[in-house]
A = this chain, B = another copy of it.
Amino acid sequence: MRIDLQRLMETINTSAAMGATENGGLHRLTLANEDTEMRGTFVHWLETAGLEVTVDDFGNIYGRREGTNPDLSPVVIGSHLDTQPYGGKYDGVIGVLAALEVIRTLNDEDIKTERPIVIVNFTNEEGARFTPPLLGSGAVIGDLSKTTVYDTKDAEGTRFETALYESGYQGEEVHRLREAHAFVELHIEQGPVLEQKQKSIGVVQGIQGLAWLTVHVKGEADHAGTTPMSGRKDALVAASAMVTALSRYAASVEELVITVGTLQVAPSAPNVVPSDAAFTIDMRHPDDHMRKGVPMAIRKIIADTSKMYNVDFELETKYQAETVHFPERIQNVLLKETSSLEYESEKFYSGASHDAKNMSSIAETGMIFVPSVNGKSHHEEEYTNDADIEKGANVLLRATKRLADENE
């Protein structure tokens, strides 16, 4: 029992034409014309595969293949068809289209499963046109209220509900996914781990937790010409020393990543010693105990550096998310099917968030990663080898069948 790679790649290439960019990428923002066109094609494919298609009130599209025991909760597989601006054609798209390929293969082989299988395309996973990201899955599990979702606006002021209505994909609340026996999402890795380890299959252990902190460094503004180096309280020099110290610290702790993605300076004139520097810290580690200790280490680095440079600081924690751990049981199903296919796998935590994070609150959840060439993601040059896509889809096929045959 294997998927048909040629058919899957044709599907991926057809998708890649709807929002294709000059440089070989994909620009398909949520509910824009390209996304609506893709949705139409996707629904057609679902219907042709004999699935019962429904759309919920957030535009999430479902295709249901009935099980021999329709009273059992379904196994749900899928991801999202939207992209980042000038993003790639793989990302979550292959998770939805590999799910379709799973159904087609089961159909071809005339294989019945005990449980229903539901394919899902979640709306606005990327959060590029509408914020927040993971919108469709977050709404379905009740993490986001309908009012919040409907009132969110794009950069041009268009309400989500308006865009949804105009696309023709405003379905009904009754169709929301309420329960699932399991949820499995195939996605590209978006990082370099699999490529570096030369493995084709990533079995995702969960979504690593993160903390967002802000640091405000307070020094003193001075004249760039008249203030000797020794008398300065330069907020930017101090902040720079903090940035490099944080980077060195992160590199010294396994699996820890720390990113300073924004930094503002005031008064911001070439001939004035900066009085203020403010920056953000994004810190991620899969181990919650570890991650809770890191902010203390960060505080020590910031405090020591402040002292050294004779400046003051304020450090605030703005946001924290616990690590989501996917159940061992689903990981083991994925590992077992991977080795039965004689593929090599690597277990690790996802640094990025995914719809699977939301789904894990209502279903036993797992994720399969396939390699990103050069680790590129959210980029027109994003690429995954056909052979790896084939392997990922085969693992998804076997795991789906196995989970759908579980009758308790």
A contact set with B: CB distance below 8 Å: 189-193, 208, 210, 212, 222-231, 234, 236-237, 239-244, 247, 250-251, 256-263, 265, 268-274, 280, 282, 284, 350-353, 375, 377-378
Contacts and interface: CB of A to CB of B under 8 A. Distances in A.
A242 B241 CA distance: 10
13 contacts: A190-B226, A192-B227, A193-B228, A210-B225, A224-B282, A227-B375, A236-B260, A237-B243, A237-B247, A240-B244, A241-B244, A261-B272, A263-B265
Q: 8 tightest CB-CB pairs across the interface, nearest first?
A: A225-B351, A191-B226, A240-B240, A224-B259, A226-B351, A240-B243, A270-B280, A229-B251
B262 A265 contact: yes
Q: Is the interface of A mostly helix, strand, loop or mixed?
A: mixed
Contacts of A239: 240
A257 B377 contact: no
A284 B224 contact: yes
A247 B236 CA distance: 10
Contacts of A237: 243-244, 247, 260
A224 B284 CA distance: 8
A191 B265 contact: no
Contact of A229 (B223, B257, B270, B280): B257
Contacts of A226: 189-191, 350-352, 375, 377
Given A243-B236, A243-B237, A274-B261, A250 B229 contact: yes
A216 to B, nearest CB: 15
* Max count, chain B CB within 10 A of own CB: residue among A244, A259, A263, A265: A259
B352 A223 contact: yes
A192 B220 CA distance: 14
A355 B256 CA distance: 55
Contact of A208 (B192, B193, B225, B234): B225
A269 B84 CA distance: 14
Given A231-B375, A240-B241, A261-B274, 11 more contacts: A189-B226, A191-B225, A191-B226, A224-B261, A224-B282, A225-B257, A225-B350, A227-B351, A261-B268, A261-B269, A262-B268
Contacts of A224: 257, 259, 261, 282, 284, 351
A259 B271 contact: yes
Contacts of A231: 192, 375
A105 to B, nearest CB: 30
Contacts of A352: 223, 225-226
A145 to B, nearest CB: 24
